[in-house]
Structure 1
């Protein structure tokens, strides 16, 4: 049996999938299987997969049911002691699996280990910004307030799913946050404080569909706090504050770059959690909204390109930022 099962949900992602798979096959740790779950794609993925020669890679095809159901199909057929998730347009550094396996092998009390993450452009090149998280130990309260764990960075013990269930197929967005919260209620977390994942920021990504995302935030937050004790209920308003701040960013990052909607979401965030006004994320958001309003879409996009180039050259140390 393989030590690790890598689950890659794929829906019309053949543009990025070969490079994503190559980043798995380049891992220094080699005792793994890869389950690519074709979620009803129409992009010749089956023809591409038929040409793969590595026996560790297997394609599972199903009718389109969404990313949660696709990941769950992979979990159901996983043979590994540990399960790692990787989105079809993201990439891994070669030592990612090795460092996480060592962590879980050495810390039997840990149920989930994640890593830091690079933000990347469509070509998979780092923008110079890094998602840094120190979420380790018993992290339920911190996760209930804000998602601090990137899905493509996660490795989890397979038996955790027997305790808390798998991804909610009714959630199209924030399904990972919902599961991490449930796992955190039973298990300790660990983090590899090194950026070992590249997350492509694509304007057409479902995570930029802020209307669907708003409903998903509401579902997860209400579910999380419906049985929480009274002393934890104060975290609920903070959770909504972070959620609306995230939505404001998504409004700027979507294809239409709607800064007016971003302002409305920002106001909602401040109404729920006034103290978030002085946070770095809110200050950055205010600057981005100001740039969009002053420069317009095209000049804003060009300014981002210049910023990415500058940041790549100077980013010797990662900076804190919110999860995707």
Structure 2
């Protein structure tokens, strides 16, 4: 049996899927099986998969069941001790699986290991944003308030953990990974590889940009979570809503809509007034002022300058 099962849900994803698969095939850790779940696609995925010659790749076709349903199919067909998920538009750096396997092998108490994530644009070019968290061990409280993993392509999970917590919630059409990480964190320790080995592609079709859908689903996640949470932890509920509204405000800024960002910033304050004193809130407020004064182009130019300076500083340090 392979050590790791890699699950790739795919729905009309041929624009990015070949590059995603190639990044998996180029992993330095090779004891893997790759399960591409064709979730009712209407593109040319079937024709494309007939040309794949690597015996580690399997294609499983099904009627469209959504991202959760596709991941669940992958889990039920997986034969590996560990399961790693990657969305069909994301990428991995070559040592990702090797370092995660080593981490789980050396940390028997951990049920999940994640990596840092670097954002890319639609073409795969790095944007300069790196999502980095050092949170590990018992992380349930942190995962409820802030999604430290940040995307569905970063985590590797012990197969046996799903026997305990169940499969992905098929009623969620987004935030299903956040829901799963919270459920896993209630029973297992988390570990982290502190390198940006996951590349998260940001583009116009990213589900994270559908704000009404995202907020509807994350509300379901929060309400389900706190329905069974101990009474002494219910104070985290408002904090969770505060942070998700603040993150949503930042997505508005990415779309050059600072007026809507102001609306979500206000909601963040109403839910969790203490968020005012966080660096993330202060940075958002400065960004809103800059965009309102300089316009979207001036804001982009200034942001590009600061990111380039950050790269130079980090390069000098390393």
Residues 48/287 of structure 1: CA separation in 2 closer, same or farther (3 Å cut) = farther
Q: Which runs of 4+ in 1 moved over 3 A?
A: 294-318
1:278 is aligned to 277
2:268 is aligned to 269
How far has the Cα of 1:250 moved from its partner? Answer: 2.1
Other structure's SS at 1:176 match: helix
Counterpart CA distance in 2 for 1:298 and 1:316 is: 27
Residues 273/178 of structure 1: CA separation in 2 closer, same or farther (3 Å cut) = same
Counterpart CA distance in 2 for 1:299 and 1:50 is: 48
Other structure's SS at 2:112 match: strand
Matches within 5 A, 1:14-29: 14-29=14-29
CA contact (8 A) 1:127 1:311 kept: no
1:124 is aligned to 124
Counterpart CA distance in 1 for 2:316 and 2:78 is: 36
Other structure's SS at 2:153 match: helix
**Bigger mean CA deviation after superposition, 163-172 or 10-19:** 10-19
Counterpart CA distance in 1 for 2:302 and 2:12 is: 30
CA-atom RMSD, angstroms? 1.9
CA contact (8 A) 1:129 1:311 kept: no
How far has the Cα of 1:140 moved from its partner? Answer: 0.9
How far has the Cα of 1:305 moved from its partner? Answer: 4.9
How far has the Cα of 1:188 moved from its partner? Answer: 0.9
2:68 is aligned to 68
**Bigger mean CA deviation after superposition, 306-315 or 204-213:** 306-315
Counterpart CA distance in 2 for 1:99 and 1:130 is: 18
CA contact (8 A) 1:209 1:250 kept: no
Other structure's SS at 1:130 match: strand
Q: Could you give the per-residue CA deviations for residues 49-94 of structure 1, whole angstroms, max 9, x where no partner exists?
A: 1111101111112222211111111111111110001111111111
2:43 is aligned to 43
Q: Could you give the per-residue CA deviations for residues 173-219 of structure 1, whole angstroms, max 9, x where no partner exists?
A: 11111011111111111111111111111133111000111111211
Counterpart CA distance in 1 for 2:306 and 2:121 is: 12
CA contact (8 A) 1:5 1:82 kept: yes
1:109 is aligned to 109
1:144 is aligned to 144
Other structure's SS at 1:236 match: helix
Query: Given the two structures, how large is their TM-score scaled by the length of structure 2?
Result: 0.93
Counterpart CA distance in 2 for 1:313 and 1:60 is: 45
1:321 is aligned to none
1:93 is aligned to 93
How far has the Cα of 1:243 moved from its partner? Answer: 0.9
Q: Could you give the per-residue CA deviations for residues 205-253 of structure 1, whole angstroms, max 9, x where no partner exists?
A: 1110001111112111111111212211111111010111111122233
Other structure's SS at 2:284 match: helix
Residues 42/295 of structure 1: CA separation in 2 closer, same or farther (3 Å cut) = farther
Counterpart CA distance in 1 for 2:202 and 2:109 is: 34
Q: How many pairs were matched up?
A: 316
How far has the Cα of 1:293 moved from its partner? Answer: 2.7
1:173 is aligned to 174
How far has the Cα of 1:299 moved from its partner? Answer: 5.0
2:229 is aligned to 228
5+ unaligned residues in a row in structure 1: which ranges?
A: 319-324
